[in-house]
Amino acid sequence: MPTLNDLFAQQSDRGLDFTASACGIYADFSKQKIDTAIFEALLNLASERNLSQQIQQLLAGVAVNDTEHRAALHTALRLPKDSALWLDDVNVVEQVHASLDKLANIVERIRSGIWRGYSGQAITDVVNIGVGGSDLGPLMATTALTEWSDTDIRVHFVSNMDGTQLDGLLKILHPKTTLFIISSKSFGTVDTLSNAKTALAWLMASHRNKDTVLRRHFVGISTRSDKMTAWGIHADNQLMLWDWVGGRFSMWSAIGLAIAVKIGMANFRQLLAGAHAMDEHFAKADFRHNLPVILGLLGVWNSTFLGIHAHAVLPYDGRLAFFPNYLTQLEMESNGKSVNRQGQMVDYDTCPILWGDIGSNAQHAFYQLLHQGTQKVSCDFIAPIRRYTDAQKPNANLIEQHRLSLANCLAQSQVLAFGNQALQQSAIIADEQKNFKQYRGDQPSTTLLLDSLSPKTLGSLIALYEHKVFVMSVIWQINPFDQWGVEVGKVMANSVFAALNDPQIPAKFDSSTNALLTIIQHQQSIN
């Protein structure tokens, strides 16, 4: 396989030829280890796997989640109100927009001060209690879009079952003015319900009327109205999901309540509009210029054909701090599979290990491995072209800092691709310690430039990666919508929890687990 230095030497216009753009996103994939013949072969592979037909089935509501016998219709969550999409004789678009209207009503009541706590005071703090997709999506988007907030209401996130996050929050929040959102598709997730139980006890310590506390201080979001009602969530405070919405694809639904509280319903609808624009591009654009298809094919090329088993996501914008975390769930929970749709073990590599961080932080941490380590790693660099507008009245230093960030983004991908040759091209002279300052390069990357980071472009960016994941799954012939590997640990934890709580229950696990249980129980008995 030619090196990236060789590929650029062979094709002088490569930096223009291997590019595509849509929805305010410009993608340069010229630093990927492909040439025209390989790109054509990947496009042919997509045709052989009937990718076009699979895309249409996904968007039409066919039961593409075949192990759970249901559709994966997260794209329906951002369809315009005048659209129609029928599933089991029901127009799901009507259901979606009815839910959005109820969401909008709750958002307006909270943001305007109409929603009051048990004391009659307006809500000042909203705490989203969820885990996985019910936490990562809203947390990521709310952080990214903080500049679009026009409310003094503070939004917080709690996910960890050990209680650390919640304990810290409860010490600074006031029960009279705090509203909790319980986000759980099944309304049975132990992480979420354990935190919700603690939150309820905290409120009850300040106000003994349980019905009032539940009515004024809790909103529930789930597919299970019966479970929300049994827990105590009032019907007016229940927002519904559907089985065809996977947790990691759910931020577009009522799960996005925390986002809408922070940035307002108009901006939340712009987020949906940006995602829908990418859906349309995915459905209609020629594969040669189709961003999700290109990124998906490159992901397969790197992992399966080139044996690159690690992928770093590197946003050069502090507002995207949680975007790499979000993608680790989106990609690894979806495509971390070793069995194809026929139930057979695959004999090829599928999803790589994902990680990442804000570019400037990462440069002072794991970039050492990227530049001089022994591991092959592919990277996505992400940066907005425009950062500060005249309306924000930025000072000159902030504008210069943004340009410095862009310069670092471009420079790092350059050295990763071309190694020492990049330094030579920039007339940087190597010193005598040449053995210690060798940069081999040949690490492939894609650079994604956003016109700017806004609710709409963020929606498009997230949807781009959602569809990238689907493209990869089609090529690998795996189901990206089930998550049996997530469930197995939860099931096992129930029996371990029982043994941990009752020393009289014989521990019938492996010798390691049995010994660890004994140590924990002994130490707890002393304390």
389-408 residue pLDDT tens: 766 677 888 889 999 999 99
Query: pTM of the entire structure?
Result: 0.95
Confidence of residue 493 (pLDDT cuts 50, 70, 90): confident
Residue 91 pLDDT grade (very low, low, confident, very high; cuts 50, 70, 90) = very high
Write the DSSP assignment of 401-421 as a string of letters. Answer: HHHHHHHHHHHHHHHHHHTHH
Active site positions, annotated: 333, 364, 490
Q: Is the pLDDT reported for residue 507 higher than 80?
A: no
What architecture is the 74-265 domain classified under in CATH? 3-Layer(aba) Sandwich (3.40)
- What's the chain's average pLDDT? 94
Report the alpha-carbon distance of residue 71 to residue 78 in Å, rounded.
Answer: 16
- Structure confidence by residue, pLDDT tens digits, 431-461: 555 678 888 899 999 999 999 999 999 999 9
The token pair that represents 442 in the structure block: 């040949």
How would you write 226-262 as a 3-class SS string? HHHHHHCCCHHHEEECCCCCCHHHCCCCHHHHHHHHH
Report residue 397 CA to chain centroid gap. Answer: 32
**Is 331 within 8 Å of 310 (Cβ atoms)?**
no
Contact 380, 315 (CB under 8 A): no
* Strands (DSSP E) found in 85-186: 86-87, 90-91, 125-129, 154-158, 178-183
- To which residue do tokens 């790589």 refer? 352
Residue 430 predicted with pLDDT over 60: no
Mean pLDDT (whole number) for 293-305: 98
Sorted by where each begins, the domain ranges of the chain are: 4-60+285-420+440-476, 74-265, 487-526
Q: What pLDDT is stored for residue 435 in this prediction? A: 73
Q: State the pLDDT at residue 390.
A: 65
**CATH number of the structural domain 4-60+285-420+440-476:** 3.40.50.10490
d(CA 325, CA 310): 15
Distance between CA atoms of 461 and 292, rounded to whole angstroms?
Answer: 10
* Position 124 confidence tier, pLDDT thresholds 50, 70, 90: very high
| Same fold yes or no, 4-60+285-420+440-476 and 74-265 | yes
The DSSP H or E segment spanning 207 is: none
